[in-house]
Amino acid sequence: MIVFYLDRGSGVSTYLQLVHQVKHALRLGLLRPGDQLPTAKEVVTQLAINPNTVLKAYRELERDGLAEGRPGQGTFIRRSLGEASASDRARLSEELSAWVNAARRARLDQEDIEALFASALNASFRRETA
């Protein structure tokens, strides 16, 4: 089970810190679908924080489809993050290498390539959230 910690000087609100820690654990495979998240009371006892803060974090995870509340049981992980299959990862990595080589042949340097990639990434995600 995940153990939360708080960075009280970070300026990031407490509920968002909890959300980020769950997402991070999902990306690293420390939390998997079916795992139970600590109950509000368990988190409260450990961190001395308001239980509504824990519930707000869990609702945010539910809205993202990452967790689900089961009445009378608790909150459970529904799906993981960063779970592209190994073969997909390998194929994408190969395609990206080929693209980087093509960019270098066109006389782009490292910073040019990074800027181009970042801008494509931003444009793509902005379209999704717009």
Partner 1 sequence: MKDVHQLSSAPRRESTSGQAPNALEATGLSKQYRKAWALRNASFAVPAGRVAALVGPNGSGKTTLLNMVVGLLSPTSGEVRVFGETVRQDAEVLSRVAFLAQDKPLYDSFTVAEMLKFGRVMNPRWDDEMARRRLDELGIPLKRNVSRLSGGQQTQVGLTVAVAKRPHLLVLDEPLADLDPVARHEVTTSLMAAVAETAMTVLLSSHVVPDLVDTCDWLVVLNGGRVQVSGDIDDLLASHRMVVGPADGAETVAGRLPVAARSTSGRQATLLLRGPASLPDPRWTERPVRLEDLVLTYLRDPDASALPAPSLIRAH
- Interacting residues with partner 1 (CB under 8 A): 6, 8, 11, 13-15, 39-41, 44-45, 47-56, 59, 69, 71-75
Spatial distance between the Cα atoms of 28 and 17, rounded to a whole number of angstroms? 16
Cβ atoms of 92 and 82 within 8 Å: the answer is no
Instruction: Provide the minimum distance between the beta carbon of 52 and partner 1 in the complex, in angstroms, as a whole number.
Output: 5
- Give the residue with the Cβ less far from partner 1, 59 or 78: 59
Separation of CA 33 from chain center: 14
The enclosing H or E element of 20 equals: helix 14-27
Instruction: Provide the minimum distance between the beta carbon of 9 and partner 1 in the complex, in angstroms, as a whole number.
Output: 10
- Give the residue with the Cβ less far from partner 1, 39 or 80: 39
Instruction: Provide the minimum distance between the beta carbon of 56 and partner 1 in the complex, in angstroms, as a whole number.
Output: 7
- Give the residue with the Cβ less far from partner 1, 60 or 103: 60
Of 39, 127, 18, nearest to 7 by C-alpha is 18
